[in-house]
Structure formats: structure tokens, C-alpha cells
Amino acid sequence: MKRLIMIGASGHGKVCADIAEQMGVWDEIVFADDHPPAAYPYRIIGKTDDVADGDADFFVAIGDAQIREKITGRLKKSVTLIHPRAVIGGDVAIGNGCVVMAGAVINSGTTIGDGVIINTCSSVDHDCKLDDYVHVAVGAHLCGMVRIGKSTWIGAGSTVKNNISICGGCMIGAGAVVVQNIAEAGTYMGVPAKKRK
Ligand SMILES: CC(C)(COP(=O)(O)OP(=O)(O)OC[C@H]1O[C@@H](n2cnc3c(N)ncnc32)[C@H](O)[C@@H]1OP(=O)(O)O)[C@@H](O)C(=O)NCCC(=O)NCCS
């Protein structure tokens, strides 16, 4: 029997589990969580540390990039989940422990690291490079040849102009439009996006 253990019984976890179900690869999908909610649509089998790295596949469904990295790093078989209705170019490279959600589009020549979240209806155009643990939130758009550094969060509904580089450790606010390179970690918001004082 093929079992998938998801870490993180949250709203994000529920969406990821639904994608895993639609992929039809696993016979059983269960969760582990250190602070389990009172009610949850999937069975919770214990806390994160109780979960042995045995025969099961794993997926870390945690939005916080640092926690996602910490837990993903100690699991051997972190699978990538891809919604059947995501559109992905044939030469796109995607690492381990990523999720690509419904309606997302990733175009040709793009490379995506480990533990990356490409959220619902977001797009990553041609020849982009996303480092590990990036999150492209719901409805955000990266134009062509954009580079995003490790653990940066691209906020919901934001846009990054073509050819832009954003360094690691940034938070780009919801609805922001990034038109210049960002070389210093921090929170950026607005149109055009500026660093928050
Ligand atoms: C940018 C962000 C991180 C700032 O969060 P925060 O540090 O808690 O900021 P606050 O809510 O305290 O707001 C601080 C100020 O910034 C403004 N602000 C907050 N978010 C903003 C945004 N996205 N664009 C423009 N201004 C914003 C607030 O209005 C407030 O202004 P004021 O000081 O004049 O009253 C957050 O608002 C955001 O946009 N997060 C992204 C959420 C997201 O993408 N979710 C996706 C889930 S899939």
C-alpha cells in the first residue's frame, strides 16, 4: 500500500492533500501536526517528530519557508505534487517537495528548486529561475527571465516585470508591482514596489 504522510494540517495542507488525491498515486493520505486542529478532513496520525522516515512518501505542507526547509531537509522522500490542471512546459525542471496548484502555468525554460509553492492561478513565464522554498502566492505573475532568491514570498496578485532579480529572504506584498531589481532582503509593497520603512 502506498502511503503519503503530509506534515501540516492547515488550510494549505487540505489543498495539497486534495491535489495528491487527484494525482491518484497514493492509497492513503494522512497528516502529522504538532498542534492538530480539533476537526480536520484527513486522519492525523501524530506529531511531526513521531513520524518515522520509513516506506511512506512525505510532503511538507507548511507555508513558512524556514519551517518548511527544516522539516523537508530531514525527510528522505519528499514528493512534488502537481495538480492535473496545472500547465507546465515540457522542459521545465521542478525540484523535490514542491506543489503546483490548480490553474498555475509554468512556461518553457524555467527552473524551480526544492520546496517551492506555485499557488493557485499564478504564472511563472519562460526562463525564470526560482531558488528553494520560494512561494509564488495565489494569482501572482512572474514575467519572463525573472530570478527569485531562496525563501522569498511573492504576494498574492503581485506582478514581477520581465528580467527582474529579487534576492532571497524578501516578502513582496499582495498586489505589488516589482519593476526594479531587489538586492536587499526585506518587505516590499505597492506600485511600484518600494521597501517598507
Ligand atoms: C506586505 C505585508 C507582508 C505586510 O504585512 P504587515 O507587516 O503585517 O503590515 P501591516 O498589515 O501592519 O500594514 C503596515 C502598513 O502597510 C500597508 N500595507 C500592508 N500590506 C500592503 C500591501 N500589500 N500593499 C500596500 N500596502 C500594504 C498597510 O495598509 C499599513 O499602512 P499604514 O501604516 O499606512 O496603516 C502583507 O500585508 C502582505 O501583503 N502579505 C502578503 C499576503 C499574501 O500574499 N497571502 C497569500 C496567501 S496564498
SS3 category, 14: helix
Is 174 domain-assigned? yes
Cell numbers placing 104: 498555475
| DSSP of 135-181 | EE-TT-EE-TT-EE-TT-EE-TT-EE-TT-EE-TT-EEPTT-EE-S-
pLDDT reading at 17 higher than 90: yes
pLDDT reading at 154 higher than 70: yes
* Mutate-to-test residue for ligand 1 from 141, 171, 189, highest number of ligand atoms within 8 A of CB: 189
Q: What is the pLDDT of residues 44-91, one digit of tens each?
A: 999 988 887 677 999 999 999 999 999 988 777 799 999 999 999 999
Does 63 contact ligand 1 (Cβ within 6 A)? no
Atom 17, ligand 1: residue with shortest CA distance: 189
Does 109 contact ligand 1 (Cβ within 6 A)? no
Contact present, 130 and 151 (Cβ < 8 Å): no
What is the span of the domain harbouring residue 131?
80-189
Q: How much is the pLDDT for 76?
A: 72
Atom 5, ligand 1: residue with shortest CA distance: 173
Atom 25, ligand 1: residue with shortest CA distance: 190
Does 175 contact ligand 1 (Cβ within 6 A)? yes
Is 17 domain-assigned? yes
Atom 28, ligand 1: residue with shortest CA distance: 189
Residues 101 and 55 in one domain: no
Length of the chain as a residue count: 197
Is 194 domain-assigned? no
Residues 13 and 55 in one domain: yes
Number of structural domains the chain divides into? 2
Residues 40 and 86 in one domain: no
Q: How much is the pLDDT for 1?
A: 84
CATH number at residue 23: 3.40.50.20
Does 190 contact ligand 1 (Cβ within 6 A)? yes
Residues 18 and 67 in one domain: yes
Q: What is the pLDDT of residues 179-190, one digit of tens each?
A: 999 999 999 999
CA-CA-CA-CA torsion for 13, 82, 87, 139, nearest 10 degrees? 20
Question: How far apart (Å, rounded) are the C-alpha atoms in residues 141 and 130?
Answer: 13
CATH number at residue 149: 2.160.10.10
Please give the model's pTM, rounded to 2 decimal places: 0.97
Concerning whether 126 is annotated as a catalytic residue, the answer is: yes
Does 171 contact ligand 1 (Cβ within 6 A)? yes
Among residues of the chain, what percentage have pLDDT more than 70? Answer: 99
